[in-house]
Amino acid sequence: MSEVLHAAMLAAHEANDSAALVRLYTQAADLAAETTGDVDAACFFLTHAYIFALESGAAEAPALRARLVAHGRELPVQEDVEPERALSQLSTFCASASGGKTG
C-alpha cells in the first residue's frame, strides 16, 4: 500500500469519515489484487470496506459483500440490514458481475 493511501486511511479513521473509509479500503483491496494477486490481502481490505459500508448503510455494501462471497470469505445468505434495498442492489450487482465484471 502506498504511503499516500495509508495516510488517507488514517485521516479517514481520525475523521470517522465512513464514505472515505469505504472508498480507501476498496482501493487498497483492488491494489492488492492487481499488484500482488494476494487474495488474502485483498480480502482483508475488502472486509474493512464492507464493514464500514455495512455500518453506514452505504450503497456499496451489497457489492462488497458479493465480492467477499465470491472468494468464500462471507456467507452467501444476504442478511443485510435493509433487506429489500440490499437484495435489489445485490441482484443488480450479481447480474453485472455475471456479465464479466468479476470472476
Partner 1 sequence: MTRNITDLSQVRRSVEQANGLPNAHYVDESVFDEERQALLYAQWAGLAVAADVPEPGDAVPLSFLGMPLLILRDKAGDVRVFQNICRHRGMILVDEPKKIRGAIRCPYHSWCYSTKGELVSTPHVGGPGQNTHDAVHREDLGLLEVRSHIWRDVIWVNLSGTAPAFEDAMSDVIARWAEFDKPLYHGGADSRFKLEVNTNWKLAVENYCESYHLPWVHPGLNSYSRLEDHYNIESADRYSGQGTMVYRQLKADDGAHFADFEDVGDKWNEQAEYIAVYPNVLLGVHRDHAFAIVLEPQSTNKTVEHIHLYYATPHTNADLRKTNTKMWKTVFEEDIFVVEGMQRGRHADLFDGGRFSPVMDSPTHCFHAWVAGQVEAHRAMKRAAE
**Residues at the interface with partner 1 (CB under 8 A):** 39-44, 46-48, 50-51, 53-58, 61, 68, 73-75, 79-82
Q: Which residue has the cell 462471497?
A: 69
Q: How far is the CB of 99 from partner 1 (least distance, A)?
A: 26
Quick one: 8 or 58, whose CB is closer to partner 1? 58
Q: How far is the CB of 50 from partner 1 (least distance, A)?
A: 7
Quick one: 73 or 100, whose CB is closer to partner 1? 73
Closest CA to 65 of 82, 81, 49: 49
Question: What DSSP string runs through 49-88?
Answer: HHHHHHHHT-TTHHHHHHHHHHTT-S-SS---SSHHHHHH
